[in-house]
């Protein structure tokens, strides 16, 4: 009887993807098997995820898979692929399986211990770059602070896309700091400094007495939201998610302790949850008369800006 099993736990789901004489597996059928397995597990975008994982395993971009659909794969490669498919079927994040993810125009190492970069956070970078290009194209380098840096994606992206700035990242987590250092090397930063410590200790603890731009994507989930996380989000570090009982403790610290170090015409931009625009605006209103909420590309409130923003074309 012909063996219809695919190594890695996809038995009976994808049909036979092997040449029975050579015991080889063919890429096109393996991909179908992976897609079907993820679909049966209730994974959204099953085809996309299956392609990303197969491209990762065999070392080609997902776009190239169609060209290689008749390529023979050895049994060990197929086993490795379906072990990742099985893990993804348990709703373990795709980005952690790939251990890298694109953000803006760069690629970053992403592992457990840091928040997964999300496209809506790119709005924070757009705001930063527009501000820097307007006020700091000439003259001394702008001093940029990247608070709650995580993977370093925001600060590193700003540093790589605007030459006349010095970026200082502040991060508490040991795991995150190790990943930031790797991403600094990966993206060849030249004017990027990492400081490890607790945001709540204030800028004085880090020897920081002035800045032109403060950026932050702080933890902002409430206690209630933490108790009802989606399965995939639950794999991300609680340290990067939980913002206190009301989700606002980091915003208070940034407004009260960090925004006073901004120089004249300095700007502070913080990412927020979609329901937090009014609350975060109220917090910063005690320290600035110029506050605006910007919506992301899905039309949801996403970034609160304290400082000059009339020039922004977001």
Closest CA to 297 of 147, 125, 68: 125
Is residue 175 a contact partner of residue 125, using CB atoms and an 8 Å limit? no
Shared domain check, 146 and 53: no
pLDDT given for residue 298 in this prediction: 92
Instruction: Evaluate whether residue 72 is within a structural domain.
Output: yes
Q: How confident is the model at residue 150 (pLDDT cuts 50, 70, 90)?
A: very high
Position 9 pLDDT exceeds 50: no
Mean pLDDT computed over every residue of the chain: 92
Instruction: Evaluate whether residue 241 is within a structural domain.
Output: yes
Instruction: Evaluate whether residue 1 is within a structural domain.
Output: no
Shared domain check, 134 and 31: no
Instruction: Evaluate whether residue 4 is within a structural domain.
Output: no
The dihedral over CA atoms of 297, 298, 302, 308, expressed in degrees to the nearest 10, equals 40
Shared domain check, 152 and 34: no
Shared domain check, 225 and 124: yes
pLDDT given for residue 23 in this prediction: 61
Closest CA to 15 of 27, 6, 26, 24: 6
pLDDT given for residue 235 in this prediction: 96
Q: How confident is the model at residue 108 (pLDDT cuts 50, 70, 90)?
A: very high
Angle between helices 75-89 and 46-58 (to 10 degrees): 140
pLDDT given for residue 11 in this prediction: 36
pLDDT digits (tens, 9 = 90+) for 109-139: 999 999 999 999 999 999 999 999 999 999 9
Shared domain check, 276 and 254: yes
Position 19 pLDDT exceeds 80: no
Is 111 buried (19+), middle (13-18) or exposed (0-12) by CB count in 10 A? middle
Instruction: Evaluate whether residue 6 is within a structural domain.
Output: no
Shared domain check, 83 and 33: yes
Shared domain check, 70 and 128: no
pLDDT given for residue 47 in this prediction: 97
pLDDT given for residue 22 in this prediction: 47
Can you give the pTM of this predicted structure?
Answer: 0.90
Last residue of a domain, one of 60, 91, 122: 91
**Domains held by the chain: number:** 2
pLDDT given for residue 311 in this prediction: 81
Shared domain check, 165 and 55: no
pLDDT given for residue 313 in this prediction: 86
Shared domain check, 110 and 171: yes
pLDDT given for residue 309 in this prediction: 86
Instruction: Evaluate whether residue 11 is within a structural domain.
Output: no
pLDDT given for residue 128 in this prediction: 98
Instruction: Evaluate whether residue 184 is within a structural domain.
Output: yes
State the Cα–Cα distance between residues 241 and 102, nearest whole angstrom. Answer: 20
Is residue 29 a contact partner of residue 81, using CB atoms and an 8 Å limit? no
Instruction: Evaluate whether residue 96 is within a structural domain.
Output: no
Shared domain check, 122 and 71: no
Q: In the beta sheet, which residues pair with residue 292? A: 305
pLDDT given for residue 66 in this prediction: 84
- We report the CATH number of the domain holding residue 237 as 3.40.50.150
pLDDT digits (tens, 9 = 90+) for 33-71: 999 999 999 999 999 999 999 999 999 999 899 888 889
Last residue of a domain, one of 37, 59, 91: 91
Is residue 254 a contact partner of residue 216, using CB atoms and an 8 Å limit? yes
Q: How confident is the model at residue 314 (pLDDT cuts 50, 70, 90)?
A: confident
- The percent of residues above 70 in pLDDT, for the chain, comes to 93
pLDDT given for residue 15 in this prediction: 41
Last residue of a domain, one of 91, 123, 140: 91
- We report the CATH number of the domain holding residue 55 as 1.10.8.10
Domain extent, residue 26, equals 18-91
Shared domain check, 202 and 60: no
Shared domain check, 180 and 59: no
Position 258 pLDDT exceeds 60: yes
Position 16 pLDDT exceeds 50: no
Q: In the beta sheet, which residues pair with residue 193? A: 168
Tell me the DSSP string of the chain: ------TTT-TTTS---EETTTTEEEHHHHHHHHHHHHHHTT-TTHHHHHHHHHHHHHTS-GGGGGGGTT-EE-HHHHHHHHHHHHHHHTT--HHHHHTEEEETTEEEE--TTSPPP-GGGHHHHHHHHHHHHHHSSSSSPEEEEEES-TTSHHHHHHHHH-SSEEEEEEE--HHHHHHHHHHHHHTT-SSEEEEES-GGG-GGGGT---EEEEEE----B-HHHHTT--TTGGGS-GGGTB--TTS-HHHHHIIIIIGGGEEEEEEEEEE--TT-HHHHHHHHHTT-S-EEEEE-TTS-EEEEEES--TT---
CB-side neighbour CA atoms (13 Å) of 70: 0
């Amino acid at each position: 009887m012909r063996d219809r099993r695919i190594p890695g736990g996809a038995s009976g789901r994808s049909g036979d993807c092997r040449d029975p004489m050579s015991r080889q597996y063919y890429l096109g059928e393996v991909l179908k098997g992976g897609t079907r397995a993820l679909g049966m597990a209730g994974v959204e975008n099953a085809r996309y995820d299956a392609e990303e994982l197969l491209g990762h395993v065999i070392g080609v971009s997902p776009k190239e898979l169609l060209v290689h659909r008749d390529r023979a794969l050895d049994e060990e490669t197929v086993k490795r692929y379906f072990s990742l498919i099985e893990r993804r079927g348990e709703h373990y994040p795709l980005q952690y399986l790939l251990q890298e993810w694109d953000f803006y125009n760069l690629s970053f190492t992403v592992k457990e211990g840091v928040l997964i970069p999300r496209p809506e956070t790119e709005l924070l970078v757009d705001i930063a770059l527009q501000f820097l290009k307007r006020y700091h194209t000439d003259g001394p380098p702008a001093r940029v602070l990247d608070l709650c840096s995580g993977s370093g994606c925001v600060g590193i992206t700003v540093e790589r896309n605007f030459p006349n700035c010095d970026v200082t990242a502040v991060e508490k987590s040991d795991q995150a700091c190790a990943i930031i250092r790797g991403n600094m090397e990966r993206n060849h930063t030249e004017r990027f400094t990492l400081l490890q410590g607790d945001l709540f200790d204030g800028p004085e603890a880090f020897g920081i007495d002035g800045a032109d731009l403060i950026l932050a994507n702080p933890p902002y989930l409430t206690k209630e939201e933490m108790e009802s996380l989606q399965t995939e989000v639950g794999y991300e570090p609680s340290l990067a998610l939980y913002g206190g009982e009301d989700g606002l403790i980091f915003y208070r610290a940034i407004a009260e302790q960090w925004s006073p170090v901004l120089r004249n015409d300095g700007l502070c931009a913080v990412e927020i949850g979609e329901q937090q625009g009014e609350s975060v605006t109220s917090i910063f209103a005690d320290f600035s008369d110029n506050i605006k909420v910007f919506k992301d590309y899905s039309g949801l409130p996403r970034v609160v800006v304290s400082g000059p923003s009339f020039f922004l074309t977001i």
